[in-house]
Structure formats: C-alpha cells, structure tokens
Amino acid sequence: MEGQGPLITNDAIVFGILLAILALVFSTAASNNRILQKFYRVVPTVLLCYFIPAVFNSLGIISGEDSNLYFVASRYLLPASLVLFTLSIDLKGILKLGPKALTMFLAGTLGIMLGGPLALLTVGTFFPEVLGGEGPMEIWRGLATIAGSWIGGGANQTAMLEVFGADSDLFAQMIAVDVLVANLWMAFLLYWAAKPEKIDNFFKADTSAIYELRDKIADFRSKIMRIPTLSDSMVILGVAFGITGVSHLLADNLAPYIGENYPQLKDYSLDSTFFWIVVVATTAGLALSFTRARNLEGAGASRFGSVFLYILVATIGMQMDLGAVLDNPILFVIGILWMFFHILIMLLVAWLIKAPFFYVAVGSQANVGGAASAPIVAGAFDASLAPVGVLLAVLGYAVGTYGAYLCGLMMQAVSGM
C-alpha cells in the first residue's frame, strides 16, 4: 500500500534473499530435469536474476529505494568485476572489432536525442496537456533529465536538472519513467542476448570478429586453467578489491579537484566520482592484461567477476517497481515511445551497415544504462565480452551532457509549437 514501508528493511536480510534467488536460479538452470531444461532454453538465467528481485520490490517485500545494496554493488563489486574481466582481455582483439561498434553507439545517442522530441510531439498531438505546464512544471524540463540519464548517466541527469530547472515532484516522476522503461528494454536485450543468431541472420551481419575474439579468449583460458588454491582466490580478491580501493582513492580526490578548479570540465562529467572509479578500475585491469597477472584467469578470475556482476544484476532488478506505471501513465507512454524511436533508429543503422546484434545491444545499453549495466548486457553474450560494454559506456559520459542539452532544447521547441 502507498505510504507503507517494505516488509523487510534490514539489508543483511535483503542481501541474503538476493543471494538465495541467484543460487536458486543457477542451481535449477544446471539441473538435468527436462522441464527445467526446456524452461531455461526459453528464459535466460540472467533475466530471472533481474526480474525476480523486481517482483519482490513491486510486491513491497523489499525496497530498492530504501536499500543501500545497489550503491554498494555499483561502487564496490562493479569496479572489482571490471578489473577481473579486463585483466585477461585481448585489447588488440577488441580494437579489431572495428568501427561498427562505435557507429552503433553513436546511433544509440542519436536515437535518444531525436526520440525524445518525436515521442513528445506524437503524444502531444493526442494529449495536448503534456505540452503545457508553467515554469518548473513544464513536462519537457523533466524529460530533459531522462535524456541526461539515457545518454550519459546519473551525473548527466543531475546536470540537466540544474540546467533546465525541473520541479522536484516532476523530477521524481521522471526517475520512475527512467528506471522502468530503461529496465524493460534491458530485460529485452538480456533475453535476446542468449540467442542473437536469428537477428544476426536477418541483418546478414558479419559476426566473425566477435566470435574470433570470444574463441581466442576461451583458448587462452583453456591453456592456463587450473584448480584454484586458497592462495589463488586470495590473490584474485586482493587484486580486484585492492584496485577498487585505489580507484576510490583517486576518484575521491580527482572529482572534487576538477569540480573546484576546472568547472568547465563538468560538461564531460569529469567531476563525477563514479566516472573516475569506473575509468581507473578499467584502465588498471587493461594494464594488468599486459602482465603475468592475466594468468589469474586460469584460477577463475572472471568467475569471481561474474559472481559480482550477477549480484549487481539482482540489485538493479530490485530498483524496478512494476506497478509504477499506474502513477502517471501518460509519462510512461512518452517514455516507451521514446525508447521505441531509439530502437528503431538503431535497428535501421544496424540493417544499413549489417552490424551484429551484439553491437546494437551493447551500443544501446552503453547509452541507456551506462557503465553499471552495459557490461552486464555484453557479458550476457559471453563473459569475456563484458569489457567492450565498459569501453563504450565511458564514451557516454563524455557526450551525455551535450547530447541531452540539445535534446532538451528540441523538446522545448516542440512544447512551444
């Protein structure tokens, strides 16, 4: 009921529930039961890890809003997983993926920039009230904050809130639209990531570079695989969380220094602590890939990274309120239509350049989800591909403020028509 808190508020209990959900999903997915095998051929495990916590949140059993677990997972476990995924990556192989990956990322950015004004114009034709409002309550001002989130991330969203001055109540409604629509799209991507062949065949896409990279990493792993000892596991965790600690140390000093001394760099989100955490962790992991540390993959480095990433998936899922659509349905119609235009533009570009669905999914999520979820979608194709999502997501921080600002101006123009 509205106004009533969640049934469970203790994060230790909530964390236990989330881990139990993950254990249940993966144990049943590995079962030899024919019914379960047929079920998991249709429903990917990562989708359940995402949706079951969302159901718990929607029913009021737990609350993503009141919990600190997402913050902990995104700030501690995400950078640790990025280190563990990137320390064995073949950087030359990623670069060989070619310009199509970048093209699809930019197509995703363009899709968000044009999709907002098109969605507002379309819905405004049938419901003129969405073009109305006065001052801070004008709908377009709130929608501009979604543009910031869907191109860059939280820092860019906050920047758009300050630039266009949306009312706090309107902003709260926009956050609900942002989270629900973005997460529904992510769920769709996770579903198709398990079986991209049909879409690739339709686009007549050349996926050879992706599979070549995946197979090369798999071959490297097979050569160095060993039964991990306690020492191996401790070293892996020490490297992951040691670098995470260094990432926080540098980010805690760099972000405020840049914000105070170089305010013009705020446009690039360089005053965002989270931005620097992700960048430092990824850079350190890539640097380790040129050292003997990459042999830690043989002791299961990426497996630890996958565990951390799936915990993050569960905490992202618990942010989603499936019933929020009932609060202000018109805004959700705009959000869904906006995402539709974004998808349409991406698919059109993918068809023209014959890009694999992997580039579509990761290029889109690097915009809409940013560094917290782009590696999840990339990793759903194959765990070894997660760093591709990170590298593209970092670009989103750079272009987010500019793209969102232009999108906000276009929506303002539409509202004034």
Q: Mind giving me the DSSP string for 363-383? A: HHHHHHTGGGTHHHHHHHH-G
CA distance 309 to 79: 10
pTM of full prediction above 0.85: no
CA distance 133 to 126: 16
Burial of residue 18, with CB atoms counted within 10 A of its CB: 0-12 exposed, 13-18 middle, 19 or more buried: buried
* CA–CA distances in Å: residue 372 to residues 74, 277, 339, 387: 6, 11, 19, 12
Confidence of residue 24 (pLDDT cuts 50, 70, 90): very high
Confidence of residue 149 (pLDDT cuts 50, 70, 90): confident
Distance of alpha carbon 195 from the chain centroid: 20
- Count of CB atoms situated within 10 Å of the CB of 34: 8
**pLDDT of 95 higher than 50:** yes
Higher pLDDT, 366 or 216: 366
Confidence of residue 268 (pLDDT cuts 50, 70, 90): low
Lowest mean pLDDT among 53-62, 220-229, 250-259, 303-312: 220-229
Contact status, residue 323 vs residue 34, Cβ threshold 8 Å: no
For the chain, report the end-to-end CA distance as a whole number of angstroms.
Answer: 40
pLDDT at 404: 86
Q: 171 CB contacts (<8 Å, ≥6 apart)?
A: 142, 145, 161
**H or E segment and range at residue 17:** helix 11-29
Confidence of residue 339 (pLDDT cuts 50, 70, 90): very high
Helix axes 139-151, 99-126, angle to 10 degrees: 160
